Amino acid sequence: MEEIQLIGIFLFILFLLLGTGVWIGLALLGVAFIGVEMFTSRPAGDAMITTIWSASSSWTLTALPLFIWMGEILYRTRLSEDMFRGLSPWMARLPGGLVHTNIVGCTIFAAVSGSSAATLTTVGKMSIPELRKRNYPETVVIGTLAGAATLGLMIPPSLTLIVYGVTINESITKLFIAGVLPGIVLAAMFMTYVAIYSKVARNFNPNEEPPMSFSEKLSNSKFLIPVLILILVVIGSMYLGIATATEAAAFGVVGSLIMAAGQGSLSWSTFKESLMGATRTSAMIALILAGAAFLSLSMGFTGLPRGLADLIAKLELSKFELLMVLLVFYIVLGMFLDGISSVVLTMAVVEPMIRQAGIDLIWFGIFIVVVVEMAQITPPIGFNLFVLQGMTSHEMSFIARAALPMFGIMVLMVFVLIAFPEIATFLPENMRAGPS
């Protein structure tokens, strides 16, 4: 029971610090410092300095600010307008109509962003007014946008997968490739829900779209070509072994700058804003990672992760039972912390359990991303809910209810991953070997 008492002490200190408004990264550093001071004989200051430097000087971590910068550049272009013009002719005739532009648009932007919030804002600022104008049900418009925007956490380049890979020392490139098929499957599940809802709901009576010839549809599709080329360059270069994740991120930044310049959206002001936005986000995540690295070291000194892993082993849980425990654990944790914080805070304890249970770490990365995606749309701290509230002025309770079906679909996706693990493991196992 000593492990449980230690966890209780760590959690009490952490939530005490967070409750007083301390930044998450600094709160993690504070908990770790107190842990080393109270429960070990090691000099806490020296350990903290060494760990922060090691965590911050990782070459793999270089991909993080580059992908964030790529997303920031594209966020300031006319990408959302071009996506709607390119997608709407093809989506209009599907069951559910133009609501599918929310899902497909989020899927496309997720493949060049890596951020759920950026995906939501970029697609939402164009699709919400257009769908309202056409009399689509508000709950479906808001719900699909909240759910589909979480694909920014899974489809490469995913910031959460970068953080997970750095935390457990796993290949970022393989994790990225592993996220492709699950992301597409989840998007297809969202679209299936919309199609079924459009047939059974009485309030689904949107305005009829004017007919458009095939040649007109093709003409509008030209607006999608630049972003599709960018996606192929970034993801294709990694899958074919031409580039590492960091090199692919550099290709993405150059490509997004060229794309923005071609659209006429690139000015000195937007360039500076994108750079500062990327710097702020990268610095925030780097501080959280530094705090988590020191907390992992602190926990390692106390023997807590190994003790907990042994405790779980004595319970003799099957793989499925362990995954169900972790599913509930991360859903509850996600109500109070964002996805990246949830991952870095828990990996020191969870990783030994997963390794001991013989669960594939690449597959588990996708599992954990699906689960922390749910945190984006669960009150009281669901970040996508706050973004949507700012965009639509709806009550938080209305947005949370609208997103509830998407939450249920994500839970279903967890069971699909467990039943068919090849969805996550097939591509990384068959990708070409490339530069390390």
Q: Are 411 and 374 in contact (CB under 8 A)?
A: yes
Residue 47 has a pLDDT of: 78
> According to the model, what pLDDT value does residue 421 have?
93
Quote the pLDDT of residue 243: 83
Decide if 342 is inside a domain.
yes
Give the structural domain span for 157: 2-430
Q: How many residues does the chain have?
A: 436
* pLDDT above 60 (res 338): yes
Residue 309 has pLDDT above 70, yes or no: no
Provide the token pair at 286: 């780097």
Number of domains in the chain: 1
Query: What is the rounded distance in angstroms from the CA atom of residue 230 to the CA atom of residue 226?
Result: 6
Residue 436: its pLDDT value, please? 46
Q: Which two tokens stand for residue 152?
A: 């920014």
pLDDT value of residue 211:
78
pLDDT surpasses 80 at 296: no
Domain membership of residue 436 (yes or no) is no
Contact 186, 413 (CB under 8 A): yes
pLDDT at site 412: 94
Single-letter code of the amino acid located at 243? A
Tell me the pLDDT tens digit for each residue of 188-237. 999 999 999 998 888 888 877 777 777 877 787 887 888 888 888 888 88
State residue 363's pLDDT score: 95
Task: Categorise residue 62: left if φ over 0, alpha if ψ from -120 to 50, beta otherwise.
Answer: alpha
Q: Do residues 274 and 69 touch, judged by C-beta distance below 8 A?
A: yes
- Please write the tens of the pLDDT for every residue from 231-275: 888 888 887 888 887 888 888 889 889 888 888 888 888 899 889
83-139 residue pLDDT tens: 777 888 888 788 888 889 889 888 888 887 767 777 887 788 778 888 888 889 999
Residue with tokens 């859903």: 331
CA–CA distance, 34 with 31 (Å, rounded to integer): 5
* pLDDT reported for residue 308: 63
pLDDT at 45 over 70: yes
Report whether 86 contacts 221 (CB < 8 A): yes
In a domain, 377, yes or no: yes
**Is 435 part of a structural domain of the chain?**
no
Look at residues 47, 46, 98, 25 and name the one whose alpha carbon lies nearest to residue 344: 25
Percent of the chain residues past pLDDT 90, beyond the cut: 14
- At 344, the pLDDT band (50, 70, 90 cuts) reads confident
